[in-house]
Amino acid sequence: MSLAGATSCRAAAQLPFPRPTFIQPNVRFWVDVFTTYSVRDFAIVDRDKVSRVYEVYKLPGYGIPTREDVDWINAYLRTKYGDILERLAAGHQPETNDERRVAEMFKGESLSAYSLAAENFRVQEGLRERFREGLVRSRYYRPTMERIFRQWGLPPELVTLAQVESGFQSHAKSSAGACGIWQFTRATGCKYMTISRHHDDRLNPIRETEAAAELLRSNYDQLGDWALAITAYNYGTGGIARAADLYAGDYSTMIERYQGPHFGFAVKNYYAEFLAAVDVYEHEETYFPGIKYDVASIEANDTESEPDDDAPPRHSRRSHRARHHGAVHHHHHLHKA
């Protein structure tokens, strides 16, 4: 860990990023995704309450699962828990261990809650190996990025957002054309950088970091709250400004109630993922023992991806960690002007 990282670790309690009570279970879930669940672990959860983890299915074997593996796991878990929830919704007493465990999760709720939950599954793959790679790779970039962010009057810990965006892969690329460590689309990037047929600042780590700092600074100056400003990096400043205005600028209420276009899972979880990434970075040796001895020699690889079901295809993108497809969900963030 760099000196700046060690300092931020000691000052964690003074970080400027708000932590509403409702978000803490979500943060814990993403810490698990980043540090506990491997690429062969698949958690089936409730989309609107990710702390409700029905099961973490571990695929036997080694290596990155195939497309067929992913499709099979997705169908298996959805069918299994769909059947359980529908049986409980019909008023049947839980009989199996799985049914009793699920019934306990819904204690005190009406039978209709089971039916609603049956339509709200999400299967999330673990990211432990890829997240660790990103932490190691970040050592190339963090000192310079933190200096740039300080110059813009930003908390240096905000650089951790690049871990959520791309895992610090300088040549990360999405099918929608978002590029670089900070995953700017061409439309947004053109406002802050030179992007032409022959030159693309999105692939220059210093220029793209300056652009990200300028955008985040502008978001914060306009929205006045880091939870909103960081979410706006994902959803777009204008969209978050309009959504927040409906709820007097209250992030928690906005996340809970806003039903605007494309305001789906990726947007609602973006800030929680950032907070989780900050927690892991500040305690990386606890989560990844021995990581301080790793040699930062991981090469960045371009990654193609496909659109998010919560976002319009031409703006959708996924991070470096989404290396295979299927109905199981990985990281994918919307980044609109």
87 and 22 in one domain? no
155 and 261 in one domain? yes
* Residue 292, pLDDT score: 85
Give the DSSP H or E segment for 142: helix 142-151
Structure tokens at 199: 């030159």
Domain count, the chain: 2
121 and 27 in one domain? no
- The domain boundary, picked from 75, 92, 125, lies at 125
- Report how far residue 148's alpha carbon sits from residue 168's, in angstroms, rounded to the nearest whole number: 16
Contact between 280 and 151 (Cβ < 8 Å): no
Q: What percent of the chain has pLDDT over 70?
A: 83
Mean pLDDT of 91-111: 95
In total, the chain counts a number of residues equal to 337
Residues 6 or more apart whose CB falls under 8 angstroms from that of 315 comprise 176, 185, 334, 335, 336
- Report how far residue 281's alpha carbon sits from residue 157's, in angstroms, rounded to the nearest whole number: 9
Q: Hunting for tokens 């031409």 — which residue is that?
A: 314
pLDDT band at residue 265, thresholds of 50, 70 and 90? very high
- Report how far residue 223's alpha carbon sits from residue 227's, in angstroms, rounded to the nearest whole number: 9
294 and 170 in one domain? yes
- The domain boundary, picked from 66, 98, 125, lies at 125
| Cα angle for residues 284, 292, 157 (degrees, 5° grid) | 45
Q: In Å, how far from its chain's centre is CA 331?
A: 6
Report which of 253, 176, 322 is spatially closest to residue 244, judged by C-alpha positions: 253
Mean pLDDT of 20-41: 97
Whether pLDDT at 337 is above 80 = no
- Report how far residue 92's alpha carbon sits from residue 307's, in angstroms, rounded to the nearest whole number: 39
* Residue 172, pLDDT score: 87
β-bridge mates for residue 54, sequence order: none
Mean pLDDT of 217-241: 96
Q: Which residue has the higher pLDDT, 7 or 201?
A: 201
- The domain boundary, picked from 125, 146, 168, lies at 125
CATH number at residue 304: 1.10.530.10
114 and 3 in one domain? no
> Which runs of consecutive H residues, i.e. helices, occur in 11-53?
24-35
* Residue 295, pLDDT score: 61
Contact between 328 and 256 (Cβ < 8 Å): no
120 and 22 in one domain? no
Report which of 26, 17, 90, 86 is spatially closest to residue 52, judged by C-alpha positions: 26
Mean pLDDT of the chain: 85
Q: Which domain holds residue 326?
A: 1-38+127-337
Q: Which of 10-19, 31-40, 130-139 has the lowest mean pLDDT?
A: 10-19
Secondary structure (DSSP) of 212-249:
HHHHHHHHHHHH--HHHHHHHHHH-HHHHHHHHHTTTT
pLDDT band at residue 44, thresholds of 50, 70 and 90? very high
- Report how far residue 177's alpha carbon sits from residue 185's, in angstroms, rounded to the nearest whole number: 6
Structure tokens at 249: 């600028």
7 and 104 in one domain? no
- pTM for the structure as a whole: 0.84
Give the β-pairing of 49-58 and 41-46: antiparallel
200 and 72 in one domain? no
* Residue 14, pLDDT score: 59
100 and 15 in one domain? no
32 and 171 in one domain? yes
Per residue in 142-170, pLDDT tens?
999 999 999 999 999 999 999 999 999 98
Report which of 111, 125, 25, 14 is spatially closest to residue 77, judged by C-alpha positions: 125
Mean pLDDT of 107-129: 95
* Residue 175, pLDDT score: 72
Structure tokens at 49: 């309450």
- Report how far residue 232's alpha carbon sits from residue 52's, in angstroms, rounded to the nearest whole number: 26
* Angstrom distances, CA of residue 270 to CA of 27, 36, 231, 248, 276: 10, 19, 6, 20, 10
305 and 189 in one domain? yes
Contact between 23 and 252 (Cβ < 8 Å): yes
Residue 304, exposed/middle/buried by CB under 10 A (0-12, 13-18, 19+)?
Answer: exposed
Per residue in 311-332, pLDDT tens?
332 222 333 333 222 234 334 3
45 and 30 in one domain? no
Backbone angles phi, psi at 68, to 5 degrees: -65, -40
